[in-house]
Amino acid sequence: MPRPPSPSIPEKEFVYGALKQSLRLDGRGMLEMRTPTLSFGPELGWVECAMGKTRVLAQVDGKMVKPPPERPLEGMITIHSELSPMASNEYEPGRPTDEEVTLTRTLDKVLRRSDAIDKESLCVLAGQRVWHIRLTIHVLSNSGSMVDCACLAGIVALKHFRRPEVEVEGDEVTIHHPSERAPVPLSMHHTPFCLTFAFYPDADTPPLLDPSHLEETLSAGLLTVALNAQRELCVVQKAGGIPLAPEDILKIMDIAVTKARELDKLVEARLQEDWKGRHVEVR
Amino acid sequence: MTSVLPGENVPAQHVNLKLGPGLLQQTSVGGTSAIVSTRAGEVQHSANRSRWWIEGNSRRYSPAPQESVVGVVVSRSGENWRVDIGSAHMATLDGLAFEGATKRNRPNLKVGSLLYARVSLAHKDMEPELECFDAQTRKSEGFGELKGGFLVQCSLKMCRLLLDPQHFLFPLLGSRFPLESAIGMNGRVWVSTKDPRQVIAIARCIEAVDPDGGGMDEAAVKKFLTTLDV
């Protein structure tokens, strides 16, 4: 089924009426996010992020390549994300929907262009060898806020990943296997987190954080904000939708800052927990 | 109880054998017939072994005749309405298949209306057909447009449990506040109450009791209801 029909009239009227009274269908508060659950795989750089029923899998892989001549001193990062019918029955392989394009562009802006990873540290031998880091995102299930979940999974996977240690002697490059020398984490400048807010046509309805699938479909506008825990704004994305007043946007930013701090603490705690349980030691 | 996958032979033998959902009789060339399962689940039979069926769970609906379903009107094609019931094909509903409908006097449905209808025709390669009345008596018998309220989606096994009068959930909820509901065999339940909080409570309870989502029992539901303010 390429496109499911839009929600029925009773569903629409009920959701608008309930949101006017600040009641959400899953009992959350208007600005309450679903707590993300992060599970790490056996390999380093394999993360599954679940926010309620929305689940995204991210995997990071690295290999050494020759850099392009116009940028000989920087490493390369590519992000691959494709929505399959596994995520929802609205998506067909090979035919990108608007949502898919939004996902690819947001991931690109938040993870690549915000300079989250230090590309110069990925250079091994100038002009000859650099690291090419590949991040693959699989959306397993879309139940709203797919972009937030994908960005979180991506950034945690990049923090979780360890690349093999490399030794350079003159023009010779030796890659050490992880069993010989402990692998090295990627050098990251900051950790951006993505948050989506939904707006509705009725002026009395306040904005919602982390909309579910039905809330997203019935919204009149979506605002995506990416920032890190140090109060630095990375991306603000609003593609169409109803116009917003400057005061509304500033209020949203304040809320987003608090949430980003909470997410940062959660991610750090989970990464520490996982690292303790792992054996990446060298004899 | 044995679990089977689609395509496995089921040892069902009786003089008056009746096959229920999920079983198919395949006659091979030599004249021997075998009973084969078409769904994944547990094989169950009645006490005297005359009725056999497969008890499984899924979320995708396959239409079967004489089942009541909740559908959403998608578009109009001439005199007929095209209705989405969650199956692989859209269903067709004749514009005159309502109680007391004549060519001049038709029900006023819009795109996006919810309907409670019965599947009158369902073959696996054809579009299913619906009707909003009882074909014998020509009376609505509860079918027709559903106004107001909200639609909750659940698994197919959950809506079969909700249709069972012995199941605890709706009597428990109904004892706390008045509610109206229409349960479709296609995994959709329409509920309507006075207060939106009550509808939200019903939706969350249905999701919690659903075998897919945890399968809460009666005591846990009672505790859960005290946390919601209804």
Kindly report the CATH number assigned to the domain that includes residue B181: 3.30.1370.10
Q: Which DSSP symbol is given to A41?
A: -
The candidate with the shortest Cα–Cα distance to B142, out of B168, B180, B179, is: B180
Contacts of B77 (CB under 8 A, 6+ apart): B92
Tell me if A12 and B190 make a contact (CB, 8 A cut-off).
no
Task: Report ipTM (2 d.p.).
Answer: 0.87
Same domain, B51 and B77: no
Q: For B81-118, b where at least 16 C-beta lie within 10 A, e where not — what string?
A: bbbbbbbebbbbbebbbbeebeeeeebebeebbbbbbb
pLDDT number for residue A281: 58
B103's tokens: 């060519």
CATH number at residue A269: 3.30.230.70
Residue at which a domain ends, from B55, B79, B97: B55
Give the residue with greater pLDDT, A92 vs A105. Answer: A105
Domain that holds residue B19: 2-55
CA distance B154 to chain A (A): 14
Domain assignment present for A4? no
- Domain assignment present for residue A7? The answer is no
Nearest-Cα residue of chain A relative to residue B228: A27
Cβ atoms of residues A112 and A79 within 8 Å: yes
Closest CA to A125 of A61, A66, A69, A185: A66
Task: Indicate whether A6 belongs to any domain.
Answer: no
Q: What are phi and psi of B72, to 5 degrees?
A: -115, 130
Interval A203-231 mean pLDDT:
91
Average pLDDT over residues B116-141: 87
pLDDT tens digits along B30-88: 777 888 888 888 998 888 888 888 888 888 888 888 899 999 999 998 889 999 998 88
Sign, Cα dihedral of B101, B106, B112, B113: negative
Higher pLDDT, A88 or B89: B89
Examine residue A1 and state whether it is found in any structural domain, yes or no: no
Average pLDDT score, chain B: 88
Q: How many CB atoms lie within 10 A of CB A181?
A: 14
Cβ-based neighbour number of residue A266 at 10 Å: 17
Q: Does B168 reach chain A within 8 Å, measured CB to CB?
A: no
Best mutation site among B72, B89, B204 for testing chain A: the one with the most A CBs within 10 Å? B72
Percent of chain B whose predicted confidence (pLDDT) is above 90 = 37
pTM to 2 decimal places: 0.88
Domain end among B146, B163, B185 = B146
Distance, CA of A189 to CA of A110 (rounded, Å): 13
Pairing of strands B188-192, B180-183: antiparallel
Q: Picking from A216-220, A234-238, A271-275, B26-30, which range would have the lowest pLDDT averaged per residue?
A: B26-30
Same domain, B31 and B101: no
Query: What single-letter amino acid sits at A136?
Result: T
Within-domain flag for A3 = no
A2-11, A53-62, A207-216, B155-164: lowest mean pLDDT where? A2-11
Residue A56 lies in a domain: yes
Domain span including residue A173? 29-275
Claim to verify: residue B119 and residue B79 sit in the same structural domain: yes
Q: Kindly state whether residue B119 falls inside one of the protein's structural domains.
A: yes
Question: A16 touching B, CB under 8 A?
Answer: no
Does one domain contain both B137 and B187? Answer: no
* Chain B residue nearest residue A18, CA to CA: B196
Q: Taking chain B, what is the end-to-end CA distance rounded to the nearest angstrom? A: 40
pLDDT > 70: percent of chain B: 100
Q: Of A1, A5, A18, which is closest to B196 when you measure between CB atoms?
A: A18
CB contact A272 to B (< 8 Å): no
Residue pLDDT, tens place only, A106-158: 999 999 899 999 999 999 988 889 999 999 999 998 888 999 999 999 999 99
B104 shares its domain with B159: no
Q: What share of chain A in percent tops pLDDT 90?
A: 60
Q: Inter-chain contact A10–B149, Cβ cutoff 8 Å?
A: yes
Task: Quote the pLDDT of residue A181.
Answer: 85
Q: What is the CATH number of the domain that holds B100?
A: 2.40.50.140
B160 and B212, same domain (yes or no): yes
Strand, helix or coil at A260? helix
Q: Does B60 map to a domain?
A: no
Inside any domain, residue A182: yes
Q: How far is A25 from chain B (nearest CA, A)?
A: 6
Neighbours of A190 (CB within 10 A): 15
pLDDT category, A1, cuts 50, 70, 90?
very low
The distance of A85 to chain B (nearest Cα, Å) reads 14
Domain assignment present for B62: no
Which of residues B84, B117, B146 is at a domain's end? B146
CA-based nearest residue in chain B for residue A14: B150
Q: Does B200 touch chain A (CB under 8 A)?
A: yes
- Which of B74, B148, B197 has the CB atom closest to A10's CB atom? B148
Q: How many domains does chain B have?
A: 3
Res. B97 pLDDT band, cuts 50 70 90: confident
How many distinct structural domains can be found in chain A? 1
B34 domain residue, yes or no: yes
Contact A51/A44 with Cβ under 8 angstroms?
Answer: no
Residue A10 lies in a domain: no
Q: Is the pLDDT of residue A283 over 60?
A: no
Consecutive H or E run containing B201: helix B196-209
Q: Are residues B164 and B182 in the same domain?
A: yes
